[in-house]
Structure 1
Amino acid sequence: MDVNAKVRDPREHINEEPRNDLGDLMTGFFGMTGFMTVVFFGMVIVKFIFSE
């Protein structure tokens, strides 16, 4: 069985882009935490407006 597979050494990192994984993680975590905080206080304000 003849297979024409192009095998490359994974250590070459041909298409690897420089990334800051910790920065991406912190940005996502604190961004989502900030968004949920805004949503929480928004819902608290809505609750007090509509409660009688």
Structure 2
Amino acid sequence: MTDPRMHVNEEPRNDFMDVAIGFGATFGFFFLVALVATIIELFV
């Protein structure tokens, strides 16, 4: 295992925004799938 002190973060990024965007995208994707499934169930 590499020494964490040797690691240089070449691309500093806002971790909170990364998590927020990832959570939002995941929620949006599942919401879209559920919405489509509901519409299909209603019309079939």
Shorter-chain TM-score bucket reads: 0.7 to 0.9
Show structure 1 runs of 5+ residues with no match: 1-7
- Of all paired residues, the percent bearing the same amino acid is 32
- Pick from 12, 18, 24: which aligns with 2:18? 24
Structure whose residues are more often helix by fraction = 2
After TM superposition, the runs of 4+ consecutive aligned structure 1 residues lying more than 3 A away are: none
TM-score by length of 2: 0.73
Q: Scaled by the length of structure 1, what TM-score is found?
A: 0.64
Matched, 1:49 2:43: yes
Matched with 2:28 is 34
Give the C-alpha shift of residue 43 in structure 1.
Answer: 0.2
Over aligned residue pairs, what C-alpha RMSD do you find? 1.8
* Equivalent residues, number: 40
